[in-house]
Structure 1
Amino acid sequence: MADGTRKPQRLPGAVTTALALLIGISAVQWLPVLPPRWLLGVVAACALMLTWCLPRMRWLAILLLGFAWAAWRGGTAMESRLPKAWEGQDFQVIGSVIGLAQTKAGATSVQFRIEQATLNGQITPWHGLTRISWYDKPTAEPEPCSRWQLLLRLRRPRGTINPGGTDSERSALAHDIAAVGYVRDDPDNQRLSVATWCLDRFRASLADGIQMRVHDPHDAALLRAFTVGDTRGLEQQDWDVARANGVSHLIAISGFHVGVAAVFGAWFCSVVYWLWPSLALRGPHAQAQALFALAAAFAYGVLAGFGMPTVRTVVMIAAFAAARCSRRAAGSAHVLAIALMAILLVNPTAVLEAGFWLSFVGVAFLILCMDAKERGFRAFLRELTLGQLVMTTALLPLTLWFFGEASLVGAFSNLFAVPFVSFVIVPCALLGMLLLMLCPPLATPVLWLAGWLTHAQWWLLEQTATWPGAQWYLPAVNSWALVFATLGAMWLFAPRGVPLRALGAVLFLPLLWPTRQQPDAGAFQTWMLDVGQGLSVVVRTREHALVYDAGARYPSDYDLGSAVVVPSLYALGIDRLDVLMISHADNDHAGGAPAVAAAFPTARRYSGEPARMHMPMEQCVVGQKWEWDGVRFRVLSPTAAAASNASANDHSCVLLIEGRAGRLLLTGDIAMNTEPLVAASLGVGPSPVLQVPHHGSNSSSSDDFIAAIRPELAVVSAGWRNRFGHPRPEVMQRYAAAGVPVFNTAVDGAVQIDFPAAAPAYVAARWRLLRPRYWRE
């Protein structure tokens, strides 16, 4: 300009549009209830009028349109779920297997698209994508794209709600799962047909080819994950190593792998043009390179199962290819914005997945901090070195938000793992897969080499997984701390010229040093966790913590101890456990105990049945007592005689916790014949909050017991629509007749109860009401 002033820089149009669309769609995901359809129509109409009348406010119009679009799609997805009135009933269905079957001890699980469902002899109009399991061996292999006739018992997706826990109902919405269930025994269950050709069957055949040619099953499983996204052979230990090193994205087929495939496509095009120079007369080399790169990326994306990083990278390469073919320049931010808009318009519920945010935010930070003027090998080295530090630091807030843990060695691990996996292992494995299709005998030595390289790489990751800081846990992240830390990362990695960039690290402090609300002396807090048909209770005083029972562990290796109890402890800011008490050795109480003990090895362990436990534990017996921070703990049962002669349920450790203003009685699975002893041992004091014995079974909670202890509140831990019918209606009637309110984890999620040092006696909160979302039942 003539006066020497500069015009303010504006974000490119595509970037502004993408951000507005993202904000509008994300805002919907915080709603407890979706707006009615007519209101969404009004919002969309207002947005269109705003675009027409005030062109400068188009970003706001796009935001409103994104809000309306996401709310409409969310409502449609919820309406497509199995009707509530049909839950728990048996359906005769015909449908197809989608994807690869997951087979573990005791269960085979698949995604199954129902084409026709019959209920009580009548065909219903309902159909959709479900997740089903065989708990017995299927009559035939559930191959991808095979059609089946099955008898299914179905219910709507429902998961546990806990501090720091995963939200399976959100995941079901993101993946369009309309129902879950299992296969019932029926003589008419049969496989109807198998598709002649199917992409997922082709992926499975390649995975089987790798498995046959790589002798070490673990190396073969890793190689299958690296190449075709088949993670069926990986164990929990493998995922623990990957998280400790921050390399889970490599196992799940990272965008970098797709980029490598695109580079090979471009190189192949160059070889073709070198061999036949006359092709340049028919089509420009640069445009052909772009199309070959896109074709290679798309082919590998299809082969890998199109995960979020894969889709993002393929769409970005498509945008680059379109710009190159139209002879227009396209910056990295512009291309990323186009990819973001494409995914949001096709699937707005993608914002519910952690992979969406980690993928796009990570690339956005790389674009922000990398010098766009650098090209070639120097730029490549910067991305492999500085880029790993940027990704580890910039994604730390989101990683803690979604997973409650982060890896402090991730930058180092990725520094050698990313180039080695992407430029050595994956190309070698892709060559082996190509030979599998063209000349299988030649594939054996190539895949053997790829397996050996994978073994060496994983051995090194296993070593670094044991380093201090490899798995770093923090309490649950507040939304405002997430925002501050993300802004701090943007400031820290801003382009040169932005003043005081180092001060961006200060904005990480609320994330790294969160405030902890610990009870006062004489007060305590408790959480009855939502562990399905089982029990787990966390008790915290000012300086101490206790876990009473740890949920179940199932033959499929799903462990409530590692999946719910341990993450909840870390999310609550409990990094040291003093006592682990397992009421008795039944699986629904003790199955998760080894996982909790492994996470907190210094905790003292008690059990009512130590001889039946799979690890050393002390016998709990009446009379044991201790005091923490002005809070008294006293064991009321079993007696020494009962510990040797009573039934398994009556072996349960019964624990009374007494603070200054309230009491909590944990009863395990005691039956009616033990209840009088417990009531007599209770002593004088305020009416306790009661953990309902034996999940509300009719063999417990007698009228005399309820009348004797006069509980202020009863909390039952049970599974949603469990096969035992717990809590039994007649038991709930006893509590209702005595005027005792009852909370149920199956209905309410985790139940949090605070016992302050002074009146009021207690404050209870139910996590399904505390964290309402429109996708939660």
Structure 2
Amino acid sequence: MRLLILAFALGAAVLQTRPELPDLRWLWLLPPVLLSLGLLPNSRWLRPALTLVLALSAGFFYAAWRAELRLADELPMAWEGRDMRLIGRVDGLPEKTPRGWRFVLRVASVATPGAHAPKKVQITVSSFTDTAIAAPRGGQCLSVTARLGRPHASVNFGGFDYEGWLLERAIRAQGYAVDGFSPAYACRYNPLALLDGWREAVRERLNGALVGQPYAGVIVGLAVGDQNAISETQWTLFRATGVTHLMSISGLHVTLLASLVFALVNWGWRRIPLLAIRLPARQAASLVGFATALWYVAMTGFGLPAQRTLYMVGMAAAALWLGRIDSPTRVLAAALALVVLIDPWAALAPGFWLSFGAVAVLFYVGSGRLARPAVWRQWLMAQWAVTLALTPALLLMFQGVSLVSPLANAFAIPLISLVAVPLVLAAALLPIPWLAHLAHGVIALTMTGLTWLAALPQPVWHVASPDWRVLLLALLGTLILLLPRGIHGRWLGAVLFLPLLFPIRERLSPGEFRLDMLDVGQGLALVVRTGGHALAYDTGPRYASGEDAGARVAAPFLFANGVKRLDGLVVSHEDSDHSGGAASLLVSHDPVWRLASYPLAGASKCTAGQTWRWDGVDFAVLHPVARFYDEPGFSGNDMSCVLRVSSPYGSALLTGDIARLGELSLALLPAKVLQSDVLVAPHHGSGGSSMAEFIQAVHPDTALISVGYRNRFGHPTPVTLGRYRAARVRVVRTDKEGALRIDFKVAGRVELHADATEQRYWRHR
């Protein structure tokens, strides 16, 4: 049965990698296959093998059926970008943004005639004046006039799939409020709305009790699952020390809290004969332990990660109630089946693999041991086993692993899960301010230790994302290394682990180079790599959420490709859609040198005539000329630093946001200096750029346009696209193709790769 469940879960996971959904009419083949299994001879391998294939197919088609139902709940294309009046309840807790609020609305009705909206939409309310926006409240019934669009997010090689994240949460449209919102009274009664209202009240009370305290956001996160107030500096510290899972309502907290309550109830119940006669202590403890887990998960608003843990705890409680605790792996398999049945998109979440993987590893290292080691040795063994086993997954998903994580978790888990969390829950239930301050003191003590560990040399080890072959070898090596002592050949596990720790990177030959245009929305971020060097040209925008493309997109991309430090950084000009991520990249990848056309920390002034050569590839700054810095006619976009990259295998022209004046200046250059095979279209293809004379002077084969989906500027304009079409230039856009990669390896031919070629069935591209 365990193998069948694994096959079913694997089938559901495979569906999430497909570019399109299968035809569900294939399901009609399953009944005949089931009948044929009964007619097969009782072979040792044929019938079991076909049964596994059937289970895998069942998981695949079950997930496809669920996906078809969810995709049917969509915003009609005809209503994208049009105003519609929605009435519904705020689902969960609203999130504070730099300019207002963002919340999920569970739509009850659409008041605009002829309009249709999905059941759940994400809405942003912003103010661009000094007028404060009234805060929406969790569970509140609202009327809002919104302008919605289908889910659309950046798609980068190996990057986070935000559209998949939205799909798992059934959020099928995003948009913004046109003129704020107002209370409404036409929503149906919903018990979850009362729960969200109570969570909102708890959040307000805790924030009020901890005004001015540095870790108030962590306390609120542990109480109601709202991580909005945790600063980016604190998240950086948590990532560096490998304790991010401890700073919100995580599976570990739910499990340990339920286990603690189970142990206490089991101990106390046995000592009261009247109770023990009516109901065995183990059953009472399992019931109360599960109820505790259910209550704590409810405090998160039943967030999906916490739900997965609740199902695992529920299966364990059922096994304890029934006395079926002889095989923990059966309990784990039953929990896996329940999770996949309820949430077939769970495989999209790193937490799914990490949580089930961690529990499976603990079961694995706890089996086959003749003697039970001391408690402290069990604790150290568990830390070592989980760290080792999850390293391949962490490197695959996050391109790095904290080297100090075992030490950090060794003291942080007891302090936070067993001390801080009970205090936080008491503070959430009881209006006693000193409880919140006591919990804050425990968090502050933990943070002191984490800060010390993060200050050690290189607390995080980054390495290029491994491919599937290296990953399989590392997982096999993990199983061998974690075998009980005394078994010969355990050293072979370390050998199998080596390719993961010291990956062999693809090496570009002299003269070859690779240009990556990252999908950062409405902005620009490029990476140029040669055989032994890497340069970033522009860093993307700063987003309304307060994050920036440097931290969210560029840095993970560089780490995933084995780039730990940039050899150079060029920021074309100061506009935030080009320079917004610079500060983050300066911290994460500390460029050896920097060029910019505006004052940037540690940067030299970008001036025409600057040249350098890396690995047989030539780099030349073509614009602006030094005297342009003193001429009033040249400013802003037209002062963008223009860089040409060339080798015997081809050339690319990176243009920033130059407009007509800058283009005319460049068009006067000799053809051998300017002409390029690939042109990064100036100013995202705006109407005031990409003049016909400039396109003719550059004479490109391909134009790349970095542009946001349905952006408010209308880029690229039809006029600009017409100019490229007239010049017979192929145009490729990030809003349609995702991140773009061009390899210059063969003279006279550029190789274009788009991330959207690895399509997923939920992406609107």
TM-score interval, normalised by the smaller of the two chains: over 0.9
Which amino acid in 2 is paired with 1:22? A
Aligned partner of 2:627 in structure 1 is 641
1:378-393 correspondence runs (5 A): 380-393=375-388
The reply on whether 1:122 has 2:130 as its aligned counterpart is no
Match of 1:398 among 387, 393, 399: 393
Q: Report the alpha carbon displacement of residue 268 of structure 1 after superposing the two structures with TM.
A: 5.1
Q: Which residue, 599, 613, 624 being the options, matches 1:627? A: 613
Hey, what's the Cα distance between the residues in 2 that align with 1:332 and 1:372? 14
Secondary structure of 2:145 counterpart: strand
* Pairwise CA distance, 1:498: 5.2
Counterpart of 1:618 in structure 2: which amino acid?
Answer: S
**Aligned runs of 1:203-282 on 2, under 5 Å?**
203-267=199-263, 269-270=265-266, 273=269, 276-282=272-278
**1:144 aligned residue (138, 144, 156):** 138
Partner AA of 2:51 in structure 1 = R
SS of residue paired to 1:122: coil
Query: Of the candidates 515, 530, 534, which is equivalent to residue 523 of structure 2?
Result: 534
Q: Does 1:467 align with 2:456?
A: yes
Structure 1 residues 229 and 521: CA distance shift in structure 2, 3 A: same
Secondary structure at the counterpart of residue 68 of structure 2: helix
RMSD between superposed Cα atoms in Å: 2.4
CA distance in 2: counterparts of 1:296 and 1:51, whole angstroms: 44
Q: How many residues align?
A: 748
Cα distance in 1 for residues equivalent to 2:370 and 2:232: 41
Match of 2:43 in 1: none
Q: CA deviation at 1:166?
A: 1.1
1:23 partner amino acid = L
Match of 2:440 in 1: 451
Contact 1:308–1:355 (CA under 8 A) maintained in structure 2: no
Q: Does 1:651 align with 2:646?
A: no
CA deviation map 1:229-265 (0-9, x unaligned): 2212101122111111111111132333223322343
TM-score (norm 1): 0.91
1:326 is aligned, of 314, 322, 327, to 322
Q: Give how far 1:409 is off.
A: 1.2
Listed as ranges, the gaps of 5+ residues in structure 1 are: 1-12
SS at structure 1 position matched to 2:539: coil
Query: Is residue 8 of structure 2 the alignment partner of residue 21 of structure 1?
Result: yes
| Alignment partner, residue 403 of structure 2 | 408
Opposite residue 681 of structure 1, the aligned amino acid is: L
CA displacement at 1:602 relative to structure 2? 4.0
Classify 1:274/1:477 alpha carbon distance in 2 versus 1 (closer, same or farther; 3 Å): closer
1:97 to partner: Cα distance? 0.6
List per-residue Cα deviations over 1:32-54 (Å, max 9, x = no partner).
11112212x23543554355545
SS at match of 2:434: helix
- Partner SS for 1:772: coil
Q: Paired residue for 1:131? A: 122
Question: 1:158 matched to which residue of 2?
Answer: 152
Residue type of the partner of 2:105? F
Q: Which residue of 1 aligns with 2:752?
A: 764
Q: Secondary structure at the match of 1:641?
A: helix
Identity of paired residues, percent?
A: 37
**Secondary structure of 2:661's partner?**
coil
Instruction: Mark the CA change 1:237 to 1:259 in structure 2 (over 3 Å): closer, same or farther.
Output: same
1:592 aligns with 2:581: yes
Deviates more, 1:627-636 or 1:462-471: 462-471
Amino acid at match of 2:244: S
Q: 1:381-416 deviations in whole A, cap 9, x for unaligned?
A: 344211111111101111111112211111111111
1:300 partner letter: Y
**What are the residue-to-residue correspondences of 1:612-761 with 2, within 5 Å?**
613=600, 615-644=601-630, 645=632, 646-684=634-672, 687-756=676-745, 758-761=746-749
Superposition pairs of residues 94-109 of structure 1, within 5 angstroms:
94-109=87-102
Unmatched tracts of structure 2, length 5 or more: 41-46
Secondary structure of 1:701's aligned partner: coil
Q: CA deviation at 1:671?
A: 1.1
Q: 1:189 offset after TM fit, Å?
A: 4.5
2:70 paired residue number: 77
Structure 1 stretch displaced more, 594-603 or 704-713: 594-603
Distance 1:541 1:327, change over 3 A: closer
- The answer to whether the Cα contact below 8 Å between 1:484 and 1:507 also exists between their aligned partners in 2 is yes
Q: Secondary structure at the match of 2:626?
A: coil
Partner residue, 2:44 = none
User: Is the contact between residue 671 and residue 697 of structure 2 (CA under 8 Å) also seen in structure 1?
Assistant: no
1:189-204 maps to which residues of 2 (within 5 A)? Answer: 189-192=182-185, 198-204=194-200
| Pairwise CA distance, 1:334 | 1.0
Q: 1:193 to 1:269 in 2, by over 3 A?
A: farther
Using the alignment, how far apart are the partners of 2:224 and 2:3 within structure 1? 35
- Residues 657/202 of structure 1: CA separation in 2 closer, same or farther (3 Å cut): same
Distance 2:644 2:285 in 1: 73
Asked if the contact 2:516–2:739 (Cα under 8 Å) also holds between the matched residues in 1, the reply is yes
SS at match of 2:668: helix
**Structure 2 counterpart SS, 1:178:** coil
State how far apart, in whole Å, the 2-side matches of 1:165 and 1:182 are. 25
Residue 718 (structure 1) shift: 0.7
Deviation, structure 1 residue 726: 0.3
**Take 2:100 and 2:480, find their aligned partners in 1: how far apart are those partners?**
49
Aligned residue number for residue 344 of structure 2: 348
Deviations along 1:628-663, one digit per CA (max 9) or x if unpaired, are 222111111112232232121111111111111211
Matched, 1:177 2:177: no
